[in-house]
Structure 1
């Protein structure tokens, strides 16, 4: 019999999170308490925000259903390891659609994982090789979780950094946001030694260290970290502008195209136009546009138009047309 009420509530919650209906008598037997105690514990869970649905009948039953808010979850060892491995695999390769929220979730989970489970996660990840798209460099998940923790906790971050030309330096920063471009992770931060805002490619960061010193976030020169990163990349490399018309609604295009390439603008009854700028090779942009699975027409630049034509002809030949 479980006499400790908090422990019994956690055990009850763990049972209810199994997707099935639990008869009141079975719950009472599992917990070693009376049915009346089970009903009281169910009421306590409801007060804590867990949407427990009761059904009428000879024995009665309880089921955890979807509610208006996301309550805390109770995970067993296998579930915690599975989630951590999945988040690590996605975060470490900047997979499109896996953004800062996933890294924050990973940081929270690994913060409370017992050492035995953390070792299991590391062993599983070392034994597997993910198949990812794009040419983004791999990143140690520990690097991302340290960075995400300092962003969330407004804590100064120190790390070693290797620039594109190979120059190595030590940086002390006030981290603002982590931004994923779909192929790479970037850190937008205020560099205290240079007294200015900077962007850092996370795959070039090593030895990240949370100093413990708190700070009040400064105001970015632009409205968002994503916009600041976009402008920063454009300043550092030769870019070109492009215009592409899609014969699909703007919402459909936005769901299939990385946001940093541009925001689809409605045009006509069922079409839209994307205008943007990038420093990526035109070959990569042509393939990325084709990966949307939507019909489109490139309006500019001429280099991208030629590339799309050549790509289409090459694919036709490969298909035997």
Structure 2
């Protein structure tokens, strides 16, 4: 890529990022003269981009929608964003799956080989929303490195910034057989067989720092649960294998079913009368389940099991202590 072409790509990327750009600001961002900015804008106009000059003390530019589609230019980060968006849409269950896959194929065909390789390297699964929490995502380089190791079926070594590390002591690199890269609610995970722990693990990708080179090739193992979505969803729920809550209890709430249903989540609600309903729900622990039931701010009758009644007792003692302190 020549210097001029690279500069045009950067200029186009900036113009697409916001509505109006003062000329001097563009020149400063691109580290070129205002005169060179004007020349590059003219070049983009010749390529089919509709760029309008804006009035003002400094003068500026605006990229407008044109009647014809000009040549598409993507930088590396845009390629990653495009792959993530289209692959996520292909598994969103919104009726656009086939269209998203066709769009991804179309875009891939017109990309230079270097960018096409980066796009092909990124493969992942999307876990349904409502699990996990949004955090800063892993860098594109890490996502590509993890996805590439998954596709190549090569042992992966990486440093893992675990919050359980004590005293800042460095830990030995993890050695895993990477199975799948997944995303849920803005957080990225690597599902892998941990060779040192001799068990399946789910690693947060934003804590991973891959090391090179990768290790030998391996034969993929069968993932428990039948699918990566079921396996990861089970881990999110604190279950070792099946995609179910490990602690499930039933209560009678002194509230109308209509008042409970909007907040029932994946629980079930059964109407018992105008002011009472049966509610079955689950959580990762009995104490967490009891605490979550308190959010309804109503009288509660425990149907079962006994572990749920005991959890309410523990919470009552803790709350009594907190109230008297």
TM-score band by shorter chain is 0.3 to 0.5
Structure 2 length-normalised TM: 0.42
* TM, length-normalised to structure 1: 0.43
